[in-house]
Chains A and B, each alone.
Chain A
Amino acid sequence: KNEVEQSPQNLTAQEGEFITINCSYSVGISALHWLQQHPGGGIVSLFMLSSGKKKHGRLIATINIQEKHSSLHITASHPRDSAVYICAVQLYNTDKLIFGTGTRLQVFP
C-alpha cells in the first residue's frame, strides 16, 4: 500500500464545476503539499499545509491531521486548471517528500 494515496486518478469536468481531489496518507508528517504539474513537466507549489485550511483565489486546501486526510478544491473550474495535481507529504522532522501518484484533471469548455 502506498504511503500517500490520491483519488480520483483521473477527473474530467465541465467549465464552472466544483472540483475535489482527495489525499490520504499513512505516515507521520510535518506538512502536506499540493502541487500542480502542467503537460510540459514544470511543477508549481500551490499550498503547504500543517493544519486547517488555506485559500488562494479559486483554490482551497484543507487538512485533517487526526484523520490523515487532505482535500484540494477548485471552485468555478476553468480549462486552464487542466493539469496533474499531486499531493506530497513532508515526513516528520525531515525535509523529505513522499509523493502521491497524482490526479489528472481535464476541464472542458
Chain B
Amino acid sequence: SAVISQKPSRDICQRGTSLTIQCQVDSQVTMMFWYRQQPGQSLTLIATANQGSEATYESGFVIDKFPISRPNLTFSTLTVSNMSPEDSSIYLCSVGGTAYTDTQYFGPGTRLTVL
C-alpha cells in the first residue's frame, strides 16, 4: 500500500501569484500523477511525473503554467503559475497503475481558491 500526503491542504491566493503543492509518498514509486478537479467536475490528468526526466503533460496543460519537479522517488511538486480564478480547483497527486496491481492511491488533495 501507499500513504500519500499533500501540502498545503487548502489555500486562498490572489490572481497573478503562484502556488507550489507538495506531494510525499511513504514508499518509492516510479510514476506519480497530478490531477485537477474543477468544481462540480470529475478528475482530469494534468501530467505524469517521472523521476529523472521531464514530466509528460496532457493536452491542454503546459509546463509554463504547471511546472512539475520530481527530485526523488518519494516526492513531487506541482506549481500553479500566474493564477487566475479559473485555476480554482482541487489538485490531487496519485500513484498506482502497474506498480500497484490492486489499486490506485490518491493524496488528500489541495483545495485552491483564486480570488
Query: Which residues of A approach B to under 8 Å, CB–CB?
Result: 33, 35, 40-45, 48, 86, 88, 90, 94-97, 99-102
Contacts and interface: CB of A to CB of B under 8 A. Distances in A.
Contacts of B33: 95-97
A28 B23 CA distance: 30
Contact of A41 (B90, B97, B101, B105): B90
Interface residues of B, number: 23
Contacts of A90: 97
Q: Which of A95, A99, A102 has the most CB of B within 10 A?
A: A95
Interface of B: 31, 33, 37, 41-45, 48, 90, 92, 96-98, 101-106, 108-109, 111
Contact of A48 (B42, B104, B106, B108): B104
B109 A42 contact: yes
A40 B90 CA distance: 10
A40 B96 CA distance: 22
Given A99-B43, A101-B41, A45 B105 contact: yes
B108 A41 contact: yes
Contacts of A35: 104, 106
B5 to A, nearest CB: 11
Contacts of B45: 96-97
Given A43-B92, A86-B43, A96 B48 contact: yes
A102 B90 CA distance: 15
11 contacts: A41-B111, A45-B96, A45-B104, A48-B104, A86-B42, A86-B43, A88-B43, A95-B98, A96-B33, A97-B43, A97-B45
A41 B109 contact: yes
Contacts of A96: 33, 45, 48
Contact of A95 (B37, B97, B103, B105): B97
A89 B18 CA distance: 32
B27 to A, nearest CB: 16
A96 to B, nearest CB: 6
Contacts of A33: 103-104
A82 B44 CA distance: 23
